[in-house]
Amino acid sequence: MHPNSYIKTLETMTQSALDQLKKWTTVVADSSDLDAIQKFRPLDATTNPSLITAAASIPDNKALIEAAFDQAKQEGYQNDELIERTIDILTVKFGVEILKLIEGRVSTEVDASLSYDTEATIAKARELSALYHQYGIDQSRVLIKIASTWQGIQAAKVLEAEGIACNLTLLFGLHQAQACADANVTLISPFVGRILDWYKKAENVDHYPIEQDPGVLSVKKIYNYYKQQGIKTQVMGASFRSTDQVLGLAGSDLLTIAPALLAQLESDTREIKPALTIEAAQAADPVERSAQTEQSFREELEHDLMAFQLLQGGIDGFIKAREQLTHLLRQSFGIDAEIQA
């Protein structure tokens, strides 16, 4: 063996899977846990209503919550609107804290209850962007996260044209990915783990080898389609159940990974190679798609039981998480008692 090859092999052996992954893929922390973000030093971070609710339950974040509530009160909001505004301010404040720890961007999600209302989604996204601006954060460091409904994607089209970058989430199929590309969105978050969960239950299968993992294959197909078509929208795999799923998509533009899996990747020393490359995508079987309309999008979604159920289930889950946060804040600040009085 040539001395240089030996040294290179030794370097790879001592590098964690996480460090190797970072060579090909932008690693994103799927977390609002500031300690975890500080530990793993991802370039970007993503949040969602469930993560914000979990973070708000941590005693260390009490001051942040109180500051958000005080600001909403000073702005003149009352009763239900006071809580809604507090949640928006708190969500952005978490984003600001995260941005102090990373060099890249943070994704902040629009209220999921607006997922089927284009105009309301646009208005809420503008509000969130204005809050970041108020806190001195440049627009280039923020992605507004929106569910990949037809209405959400059309909202993103308007926002992108205004210079507000969007991350389209709860994406489970090519029909959604194609609509996002047509809307010129900055980034999509196709889900992996939730697709696997659905197929395991639907097909009564305990385990799929990674080459046959339906979630991994779904994202790979979207990645290949984008690269074959020269689409600029970035692909960020999301919702992972294992490090094998993560590494099965090594080479994707970005991957957003929960802290528990980041820790496993950091202690994993196996040598890894990119599973996705632009060259391999362009050489793969062509992914053919017809021009899309709102009607064809709806028909395709309705005929794809997995995507249909997971999109609606994901929206419902995020709405429930926001409701839990609403309840938590009402209790904390005695809002219900004030209204009754």
Q: Which residues are catalytic?
A: 145
Q: What are 28's strand-pairing partners? A: 44, 256
Task: Please give the DSSP secondary-structure letter assigned to residue 106.
Answer: E
Q: Report how far apart, in Å, the C-alpha atoms of 136 and of each of 14, 132, 254 are.
A: 40, 6, 26
30 exposure class (CB count in 10 Å sphere: 0-12, 13-18, 19+):
buried
C-alpha triplet 322, 328, 332: angle, nearest 5°: 145
Residue 292 near residue 175 (C-beta atoms within 8 A): yes
25 exposure class (CB count in 10 Å sphere: 0-12, 13-18, 19+):
buried
3-state DSSP call for residue 28?
strand
Residue type, 233: T
Residue 301 near residue 179 (C-beta atoms within 8 A): no
Q: What are 142's strand-pairing partners? A: 106
Residues with Cβ < 8 Å from 266, sequence gap 6 or more? 16, 17, 18, 40
Closest CA to 210 of 185, 240, 251, 183: 240
104 exposure class (CB count in 10 Å sphere: 0-12, 13-18, 19+):
middle
Q: Which two tokens stand for residue 190?
A: 């196709």
Q: Which two tokens stand for residue 100?
A: 């102090």
Gyration radius of the chain over CA positions? 21
Residue linked to tokens 């996480």 = 18
Closest CA to 311 of 192, 200, 170, 190: 170
Residue 43 near residue 102 (C-beta atoms within 8 A): yes
